[in-house]
């Protein structure tokens, strides 16, 4: 009896389906089933092989030239990749420079390196017009910057389109340096990145600097998670909010694991750095970078690839190839 009712239900369900096109459009039945791959599966190593074969060389030469003039730009460009991918995915939205854009948000004030991307874009446009996205240029430039500071090399994939939307308010979700470790883990998880990616990518704070604004909350009174001698030293260095302090007190210019041994000594500069040593899972990864010499290098490359795949625009009708990285194309 129960079975009968079930079959009757099936029959009715099918009848309804065949009558009501809203439930099952006929078109969809005729077409071969479409397999929707993850957006990052449409990226490839050979994307510009025919359309702009020299692009990686152009980017590399430009990053090198800027680095020779000012080595501190390398860190800033690596940070730009994070800040692009962290909001709306790796779509070049951080590069858009109009009122109310991500780049104009308060917490974007310390971002640098935009002139490097603009310079690369101008040269790439001269060689292959309207072909290479700003999003891809930033990804390749961050890889080249990493190599220049002595970090690992990895192959980058191409095929990201540039987004047309950039909203300052959306930058609020990006951790700024005072969050607890749970918030950091959750933010990364929302991007498809795990605790290991969090620990390893934070390792880019082995180079670069922070403005004192980002650590003022640790300086007002002694902070039990900050070495007291270091604390006194920082109070001197941070008399002015806009002063800069090196993120890795031990080897500020070297892409090495000193960042992680600093955390064990309570020498992590941002409280979000030190917080990685307060959670069992992330602290175990911090320890692992110190006991397994090649872990940081190898995993950094792997995690940067993962970061570069976040929410990319690769499908038909998604995004555009911007002519100028600072503004969306005009529609005629």
The CA distance from 200 to 53, in Å, is: 32
Q: Which stretch binds ligand NAG (CB under 6 A): 46-54, 55-63, 241-249, 282-290?
A: 282-290
For tokens 């002063």, what's the residue?
A: 243
173 sits near ligand NAG (criterion: CB under 6 A): no
CB hemisphere CA count around 199 (13 angstroms): 27
CB hemisphere CA count around 257 (13 angstroms): 18
Q: Which stretch binds ligand NAG (CB under 6 A): 90-98, 146-154, 178-186, 209-217?
A: 178-186
The CA distance from 78 to 301, in Å, is: 12
287 sits near ligand NAG (criterion: CB under 6 A): yes
Q: 202 touches which of ligand HEM, ligand NAG, none (CB within 5 to 8 A by kind)?
A: ligand HEM
Per-position b or e across 260-290, b if 16+ CB within 10 A of its CB: bbbbeebbbbbbbbbbbbebeebbebbebbe
Identify the residue among 62, 143, 209, 218 touching ligand HEM (CB under 6 A): 209
Min dist CB 181 to ligand NAG, Å, is 8
Q: 201 touches which of ligand NAG, ligand HEM, none (CB within 5 to 8 A by kind)?
A: ligand HEM
Select 237 or 266, whichever has its Cβ closest to ligand NAG: 266
289 sits near ligand HEM (criterion: CB under 6 A): no
Three-state DSSP at 211 gives: strand
195-202 and 181-190 helices, crossing angle to 10°: 110
Site for ligand NAG, residues 188 to 247, rule: CB under 6 A: none
Select 245 or 323, whichever has its Cβ closest to ligand HEM: 245
183 sits near ligand NAG (criterion: CB under 6 A): yes
Q: 280 touches which of ligand NAG, ligand HEM, none (CB within 5 to 8 A by kind)?
A: ligand NAG
Select 77 or 321, whichever has its Cβ closest to ligand HEM: 77
Q: 287 touches which of ligand HEM, ligand NAG, none (CB within 5 to 8 A by kind)?
A: ligand NAG
Closest listed residue to residue 306, CA positions, set 193, 141, 208, 203: 193
Q: Which stretch binds ligand HEM (CB under 6 A): 24-32, 47-55, 74-82, 123-131?
A: 74-82
Site for ligand HEM, residues 180 to 199, rule: CB under 6 A: 184, 198
In terms of C-beta density within 10 A (0-12 exposed, 13-18 middle, 19 or more buried), how is residue 299 classed? Answer: buried
214 sits near ligand HEM (criterion: CB under 6 A): yes
**Tokens describing residue 23:** 């439930």
Site for ligand HEM, residues 141 to 180, rule: CB under 6 A: 175-177
182 sits near ligand NAG (criterion: CB under 6 A): yes
Our CA angle for 300, 203, 59, nearest 5°, is: 55
75 sits near ligand HEM (criterion: CB under 6 A): yes
Identify the residue among 263, 270, 310, 313 touching ligand HEM (CB under 6 A): 270
The CA distance from 325 to 155, in Å, is: 23
Strand partners, 44: 158
The CA distance from 314 to 91, in Å, is: 10
Site string for ligand HEM, 13-42 (x = CB under 6 A): ------------------------------
Select 157 or 328, whichever has its Cβ closest to ligand HEM: 157
**Tokens describing residue 62:** 């430009």
Element (H, E) at 267: none
Q: Using CB under 6 A as the criterion, which residues of the chain lie in contact with ligand NAG when the complex forms?
A: 180, 182-183, 280, 283-284, 287
């Amino acid at each position: 009896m129960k079975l009968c009712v079930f079959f009757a239900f099936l029959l009715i369900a099918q009848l309804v389906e065949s009558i009501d096109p809203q439930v099952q459009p006929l078109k969809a039945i005729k077409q071969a089933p479409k397999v929707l791959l993850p957006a990052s599966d449409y990226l490839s190593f050979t994307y510009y092989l025919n359309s702009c074969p020299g692009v990686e060389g152009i980017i590399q030469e430009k990053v090198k030239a800027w680095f020779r003039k000012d080595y501190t730009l390398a860190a800033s460009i690596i940070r730009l990749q994070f800040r692009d991918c962290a909001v709306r995915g790796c779509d070049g939205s951080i590069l858009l420079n109009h009122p109310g854009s991500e780049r104009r948000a308060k917490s974007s004030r310390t971002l640098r390196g935009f002139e490097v991307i603009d310079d690369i874009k101008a040269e790439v446009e001269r060689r292959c017009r309207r072909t290479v996205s700003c999003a891809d240029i930033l990804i390749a430039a961050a890889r080249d910057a990493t190599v220049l500071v002595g970090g690992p090399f990895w192959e980058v994939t191409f095929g990201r389109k540039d987004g047309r939307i950039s909203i300052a308010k959306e930058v609020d979700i990006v951790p700024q340096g005072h969050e607890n470790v749970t918030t950091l883990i959750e933010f990364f998880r929302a991007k498809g990145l795990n605790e290991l990616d969090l620990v390893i990518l934070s390792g880019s704070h082995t180079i670069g600097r922070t403005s004192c604004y980002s650590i003022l909350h640790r300086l007002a009174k002694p902070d039990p998670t900050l070495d007291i001698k270091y604390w006194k030293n920082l109070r001197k260095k941070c008399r002015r909010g806009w002063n800069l302090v090196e993120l890795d007190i031990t080897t500020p210019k070297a892409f090495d694991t000193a960042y992680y041994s600093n955390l064990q000594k309570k020498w992590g500069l941002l409280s979000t750095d030190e917080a990685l040593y307060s959670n069992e899972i992330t602290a175990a990864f911090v320890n692992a970078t110190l006991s397994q010499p090649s872990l940081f290098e190898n995993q950094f490359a792997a995690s940067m690839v993962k970061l570069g795949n976040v929410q990319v625009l690769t499908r038909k009708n998604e995004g555009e190839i911007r002519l100028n990285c600072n503004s969306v194309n005009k529609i005629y």
